[in-house]
Amino acid sequence: MENYYNKSVEEVTRQKGANLEKGLTGREAERRLNEQGPNKLKEGKGRSLFAMFIDQFKDMLIIILLLAALISALLGGIKDTVVIAIILVLNATLGVIQEYKAEKSLTALKEMAAPTAHVLRDGQRQKIPASLIVPGDLVLLEAGDYVPADLRLFSVADLKLEESALTGESVPVSKETGLLDRAKAPLGERNNMAFMGTAVTYGRGMGIVTATGMDTEMGQIAELLEESVKEITPLQKRLDRMGKKLGLITLVIVSLVIIVGLWRGIEFFDIFMTGISLAVAAVPEGLPAVVTIVLALGVQRMIKKNAIVRRLPAVETLGATTIICSDKTGTLTQNQMTVKGLYLSGRKVEVTGEGYKPEGRFLADGEEVFPEQDQDLSLLLKAAALCNNAELKEKEGSWGIIGDPTEASLIVTAAKAGYHKADLEQAYLRLQELPFDSKRKRMSTINQTPEGQKTAFVKGAPDEIIKLCNFYWQQGKKQELTAELRQKIVTVIEEYAGQALRVLAVAYKPVQERGQPAYTIEQIEQELIFVGLLGMIDPPRREVAESVQTCKKAGIKPIMITGDYPITAKAIAAQLGLYAEGDRIITGAELDELSAEELAKRVSETSVFARVSPADKSRIVDALQKKRQVVAMTGDGVNDAPALKEADIGVAMGITGTDVAKEAADLVLTDDNFASIVAAVGEGRLIYQNIKKFIRFLLSCNIGEVITLFLALIIGWPRPLIPIQILWVNLITDGFPALALGVDPAGEDLMQQAPRNPEEGIFAGKMAFNIGAQGLFVGLITLVAFYLGRHYFSLPVARTMAFGTLSFSQLSQALNARSERYSIFRLGLLSNRSLVLAIAISGFLQFFVLLFPPLQAVFAVVSLSALQWLLIIGLALAPLIFVEVLKALGISYVKEKE
């Protein structure tokens, strides 16, 4: 593997065919992509369709049944053997289709959650999927990014990378651009390189891509990562264990069936085949696969509602969420900052105009002010635009931004005065940057003015900036910042905050040439000259107020967490319905004074946390979890990652979020909208409810089959069903209706119920009662059909009637399974069209078997009279009436406490 750390930037540029001014052209990048392949690590190979098909036959009961069928063929029962084999192949095919759909859905989900990167191509900064990066590309790095490929750095601004993924060293490494003149250097000492998979913790930088995909340093160890690990949710694990337990119970019952059958004089081979067929039908071996499909389909619905699930277990937890802790900016608000007011040299200036279009006016006391004629205003606007990393772009008459919306609003305001950032940066050459971080709450740049004077521009949180200022700028002169003037500035800040404006302060100072490589924070950020304030509005999202009310009806408490002032936070929270009189607001300073125990006591009464840092979020999560709350926490920055990991559901912003935040999160919002979190919680609840529906359906049907055969043999009757019939009923009822229940639409009260306890079992409430009672009823009516047929007609008629009653009554059960509480007529018979279609298909197949003469012979059934058909239909509909009565009497569900 070629080394680049010991080569100069010029040499690497030539070798990789890079262009440090404009980057690669789009056409050249496409050519290299076709030549080199995508920038991806090798992954474990997925299973082929044939492997999936073979896996369907690896169940021990299926193997026993196949062996028994083979023995039957050798003894002359070829017809039965062929039919059993066909049914098992059809069952396996259905299983393969289900698994394939689930895997394709999850693969598509993984592609949607794939990382992106910023590159310079055709002279423009572009955001592209990381997989499209090619050698020779110029990649831009910022705090919170994951490095998408191996890079030779050629520009850095206090760049630090966390390289523990490669080196095991968790302490961030400072990067530089100089040549490392050593033949061999360990990865941890290659300070002019950035490696794929490492994280930017601080600063900014640019680098030339030297290697992609498997050619990267990460690619060298990718073989260790190649084994694909299938993600399993806690529910799937519980169901898997439950299936094994049910399998053991079923085997015991089947053994009893065989023993009783032999005692009743039935031939060993006949009763053995019956027992094994019953075991195959009764054990819900496909349950985990169906759960995976329902989860995958639910995840696809979430994508349409702007929420990408990164970890499948999160779907289960979402439905149990009791607290949503949300950032204010961009999540509760529109994140379209517009500067509305300025304060400078003792006066307020109103700024007109909306959005990102750089058109507007500056008004002081109703009179228009022209920045080119006002030194103080000119300095404020220029400083705000120069100490800034956002960009304003026009495309086909529409204006958009690249970068942080707060910074972008400053650029737009400067552009309204004719100060365009690109022009300013040419005139005021940037020499150095001290990047923003959440501890300092400010950013600084050192620029050289057209006159050659080195000047520091600083912007950030007003309370932090004011502390660093000894002077202020008024009427083109530096003056002392007295205590009286400080108080006046604080008063203006509070006024702006009371109007729900977010406030930034700007300061500057000339700096002296020191003859050293770079200025330090201590040298720059002290004895500053205060220039002014910018107050910007970020309007609340219109849909959030309704979502907040939905949360409250659903027993979910929304909490606002923001770095803004308490008065600003309170104003926005009140508008959205998050804050009511009597609610508590806790500031970051107050939070620091509280012990963990005190915070745990107060956190339940708190609706707003203001002036908090990302580190405070972890304390808030911990306090809420100690109160046994299930917490969803939003975040977008690199420092939010610990809180996102600690929360039960970490929610990252897809638009403004950093790669580090997205990697730590369980859920990524593609629109950064609070309403999407609430919608995702609703989907989580719906998925869990639908899983319970088809479990209730499958198990009640399986119990009905077991009871039918077991009681008949105990009573001393002949077998009501033969093996082929048992397997057929299992095939047509376990497939389509069960899947259709998995996509049942949400009920009217989905978000009007309290969140479920995440520790409750799948059979909590009346689940076990309903499965047992309804399964017993299905078994009993099947025996009634068998009794009537045998008593009044003949054994072949009796078996045909039992076969028809069992299969059609199970289709009735599919309708019953839609709700434990509400009547099917209140839900609407046609409200789940997928289920209606599934019942129609399964019903048609059963009618075909009972009416088509060649199949009658195969399944050992006979033609029936009109009276016999009326008996079957009446008995098959009886479960609907039975369950409707249970619902009406309130027996089938847990009543809410008064």
The pLDDT tens digits of the residues spanning 832-844 come to 999 999 999 999 9
Which tops the pLDDT comparison, 548 or 513? 548
Phi then psi dihedrals of residue 540, to 5 deg: -60, 145
Whether 335 shows a pLDDT value over 80: the answer reads no
The pLDDT-based confidence of 739 (bands split at 50, 70, 90) is: confident
Whether 737 shows a pLDDT value over 80: the answer reads yes
The tokens for 445 are: 């740049």
Whether 228 shows a pLDDT value over 50: the answer reads no
Which tops the pLDDT comparison, 786 or 169? 786
What is the C-alpha separation between 743 and 831, in angstroms, rounded? 11
The pLDDT tens digits of the residues spanning 168-225 come to 776 788 999 988 888 788 888 899 999 988 888 888 999 999 999 888 888 876 654 4
Which of 340, 356, 461 lies closest to 403, judged by CA? 356
The pLDDT-based confidence of 659 (bands split at 50, 70, 90) is: confident
- At 580 the pLDDT is 87
Whether 800 shows a pLDDT value over 70: the answer reads yes
Classify residue 540 by its DSSP letter.
B
The pLDDT-based confidence of 301 (bands split at 50, 70, 90) is: confident
Q: Give 788's contacts (C-beta < 8 A, 6+ positions apart).
A: 798, 801, 871
Range 725-749 burial, b when 16+ CB lie within 10 A, else e: bbbbbbbbbbbbbbbbbbbbeebee
- Whether 327 is catalytic: yes
Q: Nearest 5 degrees, angle CA 826-CA 824-CA 676?
A: 70
Average pLDDT estimate for 8-33:
94
From the list 327, 376, 538, 672, the catalytic residue is 327
- At 229 the pLDDT is 47
Whether 529 shows a pLDDT value over 90: the answer reads yes
What is the C-alpha separation between 304 and 790, in angstroms, rounded? 55
Are 147 and 169 in contact by the 8 Å Cβ rule? The answer is no
- At 281 the pLDDT is 65
Express as a percent the part of the chain with pLDDT over 70: 90
* DSSP reduced 3-state for 235: helix
- At 308 the pLDDT is 87
3-state helix, strand, coil in the chain (%, to 5): 50, 20, 30
The pLDDT tens digits of the residues spanning 76-124 come to 556 666 766 776 777 677 667 766 765 665 566 555 556 889 999 999 9
Average pLDDT estimate for 579-600:
90
Which tops the pLDDT comparison, 727 or 431? 431
Q: What is the mean pLDDT of the chain?
A: 86
The pLDDT tens digits of the residues spanning 601-656 come to 899 889 999 988 888 899 999 999 999 999 999 988 777 888 999 999 999 998 87
* Tokens 């009757």, located at residue: 717
* DSSP reduced 3-state for 891: coil
Whether 466 shows a pLDDT value over 70: the answer reads yes
- At 798 the pLDDT is 96
- At 330 the pLDDT is 80
Are 693 and 744 in contact by the 8 Å Cβ rule? The answer is yes
The pLDDT-based confidence of 514 (bands split at 50, 70, 90) is: low
- At 62 the pLDDT is 64
Average pLDDT estimate for 48-58:
76
Whether 383 shows a pLDDT value over 90: the answer reads yes
Whether 495 shows a pLDDT value over 60: the answer reads yes
Of 259-268, 324-333, 764-773, give the lowest mean pLDDT range: 259-268
- At 71 the pLDDT is 64
Which tops the pLDDT comparison, 296 or 725? 725
The pLDDT tens digits of the residues spanning 123-182 come to 998 989 999 999 999 999 988 888 999 999 999 988 999 887 777 776 788 999 988 888
The pLDDT tens digits of the residues spanning 542-560 come to 899 999 999 999 999 999 9
Classify residue 640 by its DSSP letter.
G
**Kind of pairing between the strands at 124-129 and 116-121:** antiparallel
- At 471 the pLDDT is 95
- At 225 the pLDDT is 44
The pLDDT tens digits of the residues spanning 680-720 come to 999 999 999 998 998 899 889 989 988 998 888 888 888 89
What is the C-alpha separation between 547 and 177, in angstroms, rounded? 49
Are 196 and 149 in contact by the 8 Å Cβ rule? The answer is yes
What is the C-alpha separation between 688 and 291, in angstroms, rounded? 9
- At 736 the pLDDT is 80
Whether 854 shows a pLDDT value over 80: the answer reads yes
Q: What separation, in Å, do the N-terminal and C-terminal C-alpha atoms of the chain show? A: 72
